[in-house]
Amino acid sequence: MYLNSFCFGYRSNFKLVNPFFLSYYLRSPHLRQIIFPLAQGISRFNISKKSILQLPIKLPKLQEQKDIYRILQDLENLLSLQHQKLAKYQSVKKSLLQQMFI
Protein backbone atom coordinates (compact mmCIF):
# COMPACT_ATOMS: atom_id res chain seq x y z
CA MET A 1 0.00 0.00 0.00
CA TYR A 2 1.66 3.22 -1.14
CA LEU A 3 0.75 6.23 1.01
CA ASN A 4 3.00 9.02 -0.30
CA SER A 5 6.61 9.64 -1.33
CA PHE A 6 7.80 9.34 2.29
CA CYS A 7 5.58 6.61 3.64
CA PHE A 8 4.11 3.37 2.46
CA GLY A 9 2.72 0.33 4.18
CA TYR A 10 2.09 -3.32 3.60
CA ARG A 11 -1.27 -4.96 3.56
CA SER A 12 -0.72 -8.58 4.39
CA ASN A 13 -2.72 -11.72 3.90
CA PHE A 14 -3.27 -13.02 7.44
CA LYS A 15 -3.57 -16.56 6.11
CA LEU A 16 0.14 -16.33 5.26
CA VAL A 17 1.53 -13.85 7.79
CA ASN A 18 1.04 -13.55 11.55
CA PRO A 19 0.84 -9.79 12.27
CA PHE A 20 2.55 -10.18 15.66
CA PHE A 21 5.46 -12.06 14.11
CA LEU A 22 5.61 -9.40 11.40
CA SER A 23 5.92 -6.66 14.02
CA TYR A 24 9.11 -8.31 15.30
CA TYR A 25 10.41 -9.17 11.85
CA LEU A 26 10.05 -5.64 10.50
CA ARG A 27 12.21 -4.35 13.40
CA SER A 28 14.77 -7.14 13.16
CA PRO A 29 18.47 -6.57 12.41
CA HIS A 30 18.15 -9.11 9.58
CA LEU A 31 15.54 -7.08 7.71
CA ARG A 32 17.40 -3.83 8.44
CA GLN A 33 20.51 -5.30 6.80
CA ILE A 34 18.44 -6.04 3.71
CA ILE A 35 16.78 -2.61 3.57
CA PHE A 36 19.66 -0.33 4.64
CA PRO A 37 21.60 -0.59 1.33
CA LEU A 38 18.49 0.69 -0.47
CA ALA A 39 18.37 3.91 1.57
CA GLN A 40 19.32 7.14 -0.17
CA GLY A 41 19.73 10.58 1.30
CA ILE A 42 21.71 12.45 3.94
CA SER A 43 19.39 13.88 6.59
CA ARG A 44 16.35 11.76 5.75
CA PHE A 45 16.61 8.36 4.15
CA ASN A 46 14.38 7.57 1.21
CA ILE A 47 13.69 4.13 -0.19
CA SER A 48 11.91 3.70 -3.47
CA LYS A 49 8.71 1.71 -3.60
CA LYS A 50 10.08 -0.22 -6.55
CA SER A 51 13.16 -1.29 -4.54
CA ILE A 52 11.07 -2.47 -1.60
CA LEU A 53 8.70 -4.45 -3.81
CA GLN A 54 11.67 -6.27 -5.38
CA LEU A 55 13.09 -7.43 -2.03
CA PRO A 56 13.21 -11.20 -1.65
CA ILE A 57 11.62 -11.52 1.79
CA LYS A 58 11.23 -15.09 2.97
CA LEU A 59 8.92 -15.91 5.85
CA PRO A 60 8.54 -19.16 7.76
CA LYS A 61 5.28 -21.08 7.63
CA LEU A 62 2.40 -19.60 9.62
CA GLN A 63 2.66 -22.03 12.55
CA GLU A 64 6.40 -21.37 12.83
CA GLN A 65 5.70 -17.63 12.83
CA LYS A 66 3.27 -18.11 15.71
CA ASP A 67 5.80 -20.21 17.63
CA ILE A 68 8.60 -17.70 17.05
CA TYR A 69 6.34 -14.86 18.15
CA ARG A 70 5.44 -16.67 21.38
CA ILE A 71 9.11 -17.30 22.17
CA LEU A 72 10.07 -13.69 21.46
CA GLN A 73 7.14 -12.41 23.53
CA ASP A 74 8.14 -14.67 26.44
CA LEU A 75 11.72 -13.42 26.22
CA GLU A 76 10.56 -9.82 26.12
CA ASN A 77 8.40 -10.37 29.22
CA LEU A 78 11.29 -12.08 31.01
CA LEU A 79 13.64 -9.21 30.16
CA SER A 80 11.11 -6.71 31.43
CA LEU A 81 10.83 -8.56 34.74
CA GLN A 82 14.62 -8.71 35.04
CA HIS A 83 14.90 -4.96 34.40
CA GLN A 84 12.32 -4.33 37.12
CA LYS A 85 14.27 -6.53 39.56
CA LEU A 86 17.50 -4.76 38.68
CA ALA A 87 15.91 -1.35 39.28
CA LYS A 88 14.69 -2.51 42.71
CA TYR A 89 18.12 -3.89 43.65
CA GLN A 90 19.81 -0.68 42.54
CA SER A 91 17.37 1.31 44.65
CA VAL A 92 18.09 -0.89 47.69
CA LYS A 93 21.84 -0.57 47.07
CA LYS A 94 21.58 3.22 46.87
CA SER A 95 19.57 3.33 50.08
CA LEU A 96 22.02 1.07 51.94
CA LEU A 97 25.01 3.12 50.76
CA GLN A 98 23.34 6.31 51.96
CA GLN A 99 22.68 4.74 55.35
CA MET A 100 26.33 3.68 55.63
CA PHE A 101 27.57 7.25 55.42
CA ILE A 102 25.05 8.95 57.70
Summarised one tens digit per residue, pLDDT across range 10-35 is 777 778 889 899 889 888 998 888 88
Confidence of residue 72 (pLDDT cuts 50, 70, 90): very high
Long-range CB contacts (< 8 A, 24+ apart) of 82-87?
Answer: none
- Helix-strand-coil percent breakdown of the chain, rounded to 5? 60, 5, 35
Closest CA to 64 of 98, 28, 21, 27: 21
Instruction: For the chain, give the percent of residues with pLDDT over 70.
Output: 93
Number of helices (H) and strands (E) in the chain: give both, helices first: 4, 2
Confidence of residue 87 (pLDDT cuts 50, 70, 90): very high
Confidence of residue 5 (pLDDT cuts 50, 70, 90): low
Radius of gyration of the chain (CA): 21
